[in-house]
Structure 1
C-alpha cells in the first residue's frame, strides 16, 4: 500500500493558526454583544446637616479671668513686750473667734511693777526735795562769793557739783519711773482692731517671756487676692491710669469692680482692682491685687484661705466677631457656608473668654459660620442648613 504523507509549508501553518485565532475573537465578541450592560445608578449626595450663625462685629468688653488665694491684708503676730505671769485672758480667746477693737486680750501680773512704781514715786519726792535744797545752797554760795567776796571759788564749785549730782539723780529716777509706768501699760494687751484669732498659744497662769509669739490676729475688714495674668494678656487688656508720672515700674491701674467667686459661685463677693503686685520673669506673669474692703456678705462668705476665681474687666475692643470657641479650630480656622458648600477659611483671633472666641480678621460681615461640632468634614461637602431661632427671628448671636 502506498505511504501518503501530507506536506504543508510553514506559511500555510501560520495562516491556519491566524484563522483559528480570528475565528475565536469574533466568536467572543459575538457572545459579548449578546450580554446587556448594567443600568447606571444615580446616587444622590447626602448633605451634611449643620447650624450656622451670621458673623456680626461689635464692641466687646474684655474680661480677664484668673485664680488666687484670699488673704487678710492686715495680719499681726503679737508677743508680750514684758515678761510675767498671765493673770487675765479674754473669755473668747480661741482660734476663729472675733474680738472687737480695744477689748483686753490678756494681762500679765503687775504686782512687782506696782511696788517698783510706788517706791520710785516716794523716792523721787525725796530726791527732788534734796535737789531743790542743794540748788538754793549753790545759789547762796555763788551770790556771797560774787557780791561780798565771802568764801572761796572752791566752795562755789563744791556746792554746784552737789547740786548737779542731785539733779542727775532726779532725772535718772524719773526715767526709771517712766519705764516702769510704760511696762505697766504693756502688761495689758488689747485688740488693735476688730480681729479674728488665727492662732493662740497662751493659757492662764502661764509665764510669758518678752518677745515670745503667743497670738496671731487677722483683720477681715480688708481681704486681698493676688491674681496671676499672662504677660501678653496683661499688656493687651489691663487699663492703666492716664497722665501718671513716668516710672520704671507699673503705673496705677484704673480701679474697676471685679467679681470674686468660690466653688462655682457658691460664694461670691465684689472687689476693686488695686495695683500690680509683682512680675514673675520665669513664667512671664503679672500679678495684680484685687481688694475686698468692708464686705457685708449674705449667706456663705468669702474668707481668707479660699482659692477663688476672679473676673477683672479689661479694655473695650472694637470690631470683634464673637463665635463659640468650638467653631474655631486649634489651627485658627473656621468653616463657613459657601453657596451651600462647606469651605474652610483662616481667621485671626484676639480674645477668648467663657466659651467664646472673638475673631478680629478673616471674616466678612454676614458670613454664615458653621457652629456645629464636626469631626474632620470633607471640604466642599454639601450642606443642609439649620438656622438657629435667634437668626430666624432676625437676631444676632
Structure 2
C-alpha cells in the first residue's frame, strides 16, 4: 500500500499539469480569420443586345419558263416549199419573219377565180340597176301610181347586191388563204424545236416547231402563307406602276460558275394549291438574253434557279442571340455588377439562326443576354457573366461584391478560356463544360 500511493500521486500530478497546459495553449491560441466570401455564381456566356432593322428574306426555288411560247403550225394545208435558215433548234427569230412557206399556186388560182366571181356579180348588179330604172320610167308613162316593189325590181337589185357581197367575201377568203401560205413569227424570240422539212406536206394545225419570246421569262415560286405575309403581299396580287412587287435575286450554276440575275415579283396566283397548300408567286426577268443577262449568261428557259425575295422591313428592333430566348417569349438577362440573373417577357417578332428580333420596354440596348443553358433558372439567381467580345475573346464580369472583397476584377481571355483571372478552378471547370454545350 505504501508503495502504490506514490505512484498514484505521481500520475495525478502529470495529468493535472498536462491538462492545465493544454487548456492554457487552447486559450492563448489565436483564432483564425474568417473570410466573408460570397458563394461563387454559375458561370454563363452572354452577348450584348443590339438594335437593328429586320428585313425579311424568303428563299424559294423554281424553273424558268418563257412568258409566251407557241407551237408553229399552218392554218391551211400544202406542201412546204421554204424553211427559214433561222428556224432551227436554238435559232433567233424576229417578229414578222417568215419561218415556213407553203406552195401558193393553188391558192393563187383561187384568188383569180374569186376575182372573176366579183366581176360577174358587179356586172349583174349594174344590169339590175339599169333595168330597175327602165321599169320605173315605164310605170310613170303608164300613169301607175304606187307600183309594187317587184314592179320596181327592188328584190332583183337586192339579190344582185347580195351576190356581189358574197363574191367579194370569197375573194377576201382566197386572199387570206394565199397569205396563210407564209407562217410568220408573232414575236422576237428563239426556236426551242423544229420538225419542218422542204417537200414535206403540212396539214392545218400540224406542229412544225416550238418558239418562245425572249422579252420576258418568269419563274413560279411556291411559298407558304407565312412567307407571303413576310413579303407583304396579298393573295391575288398584281403589280402596277404605283405598287411594285418585291425584288428577287435569282442564282444558278451555269457553265461551272454561279450566276445572278435580278427580277421582280409581278403577281401571285389567285388560289392556293389544294395538294401542297402553297401559294405560287410569279417573278419575272426582263430581256434575259440582253440587258438582263449576267455577263452574257442568260437566264434561259428550263434552268432551275434559287430565288431570294426581299420582303418587308421593320425598323428599330432589339436583337439578341436566338439561344437567349426561352419558353417562346422569355429572355434571360445577366446583371454583371450584381451577378444576378433577371427574366423578362418580350414581344418576339421573328427569330432564325441569325438571331431573335423583339420589342421590350424592360430590356435595354447593351444588356447582356445569356446564351448558356440554365436549369431551374429564377430571377435573382447568382451568376458570373462571361461576355463574348466581337474579337472572339471572353470578358469575365466579376460581381461588385467580389470586387469590394478584393478578389478580382473584370478580365479578358481568349475564346478557349484557359486562364480566367478572378475565377477559381470550379468556375473554370463550369466554363469549360458550359462552352462545350
Does the pair score TM above 0.5? yes
C-alpha separation in 2, matches of 1:137 and 1:53: 108
1:73 aligns with 2:67: yes
2:269 to 274, 277, 295: 277
1:286 aligns with 2:285: no
TM-score (norm 1): 0.70
Match of 2:174 among 177, 180, 184: 180
Q: For the structure 1 residues 343 and 306, does the alpha-carbon distance in structure 2 shift closer, same or farther, using more than 3 Å as the test?
A: farther
Deviations 1:212-239 (A, max 9, x none): 2333221121122232332133235415
For 1:310 and 1:276, how far apart are their aligned partners in 2?
A: 15
Gaps of 5+ in 1: 1-43, 241-247, 393-397
Cα gap change, 1:223 to 1:202, in 2 (>3 Å): same
SS at 1:147's partner residue?
helix
| 1:174-323 equivalent positions in 2, closer than 5 A | 174-238=168-232, 254-256=243-245, 258-263=247-252, 266-280=258-272, 282=274, 283-295=276-288, 296=291, 297=293, 298-323=295-320
Tell me what 2:357 maps to: 358
Cα distance change, pair 66–114 in 1 and its aligned pair in 2 (3 A): same
- The answer for the alignment partner of 1:368 in structure 2 is 368
Deviation, 1:351, is 2.5
Partner of 1:148: 142
> Equivalents in 1 of 2:328, 2:116: separation in Å?
90
TM-score by length of 2: 0.64
Provide, for residues 219-271 of structure 1, a one-character-per-residue CA deviation record: whole Å limited to 9, x for no partner: 1211222323321332354156xxxxxxx965768414513222379121111
Q: Label 1:219 to 1:203 Cα distance change in 2 as closer, same or farther (>3 A).
A: same
In the alignment, which residue of structure 2 is the partner of 1:387? 389
- Equivalent residue, structure 1, for 2:14: none
More contact order relative to length (CA 8 Å, sep ≥ 6)? 1
Question: In the alignment, does 2:57 pair up with 1:63?
Answer: yes
Range that drifts further, 53-62 or 101-110: 53-62
- SS of equivalent residue, structure 1 residue 314: strand
The change in CA–CA distance for 1:302 and 1:342 in structure 2 (over 3 A counts) is farther
> After alignment, is 258-267 or 168-177 more displaced?
258-267
Aligned pair count reads 336
Change in Cα spacing, 1:214 to 1:335, as seen in structure 2 (3 Å) is farther
Q: Deviations over 1:39-81 (max 9, x none)?
A: xxxxx9999685x431022332333332232221122233211
* Structure 1: distance between partners of 2:393 and 2:365: 14
1:128 corresponds to? 122
Q: Deviations over 1:297-321 (max 9, x none)?
A: 2242222222322233322213423
Alpha-carbon deviation of 1:91?
0.6
Q: Aligned to 1:202, what secondary structure does the other structure show?
A: coil
Supply the distance in 1 between the matched residues of 2:296 and 2:195 (Cα, whole angstroms).
31
